[in-house]
Amino acid sequence: MNRTARVLMIAACLPFLLPLPAGASGGAPMTPPGGASSMQPVPQKSPEEEAIDHYNAGIRMRDRALAFQKEATAQTDEKDRAKLDKKAQKEFGRAIEEFQAATQKNPSFYQAASDLGFVLRKTGQYAVALEYYNRALSLAPNYTPAIEYRAEAYLGLDRVEDAKQSYLQLFSADRARADELLGAMRGWADRRRTDPGSVSPEMVQGFTQWLQQREELAHQTPAVSELQKRDW
Spatial distance between the Cα atoms of 71 and 67, rounded to a whole number of angstroms: 6
Over residues 52-95, the pLDDT tens digits come to: 999 999 999 999 999 999 999 999 999 999 999 999 999 999 99
Residue 165 has pLDDT above 80, yes or no: yes
Over residues 203-213, the pLDDT tens digits come to: 999 999 999 99
Residue-level pLDDT at 41: 72
pLDDT above 70 covers a percentage of the chain that reads: 78
Cα 58–chain centre separation: 3
Q: Is there a contact between 148 and 165 (Cβ–Cβ < 8 Å)?
A: no
Over residues 30-43, the pLDDT tens digits come to: 344 555 555 667 78
For residues 226 and 30, which has the higher predicted lDDT (pLDDT)? 226
Residue-level pLDDT at 26: 41
Residue-level pLDDT at 219: 87
Is residue 230 packed enough to be buried (19+ CB in 10 Å), middle (13-18) or exposed (0-12)? Answer: exposed
Q: Is there a contact between 179 and 218 (Cβ–Cβ < 8 Å)?
A: yes
Handedness of CA 47, 52, 58, 61 (dihedral sign): negative
Residue-level pLDDT at 148: 97
Evaluate if pTM is beyond 0.95.
no
* Amino acid occupying residue 190: D
pLDDT above 90 covers a percentage of the chain that reads: 73
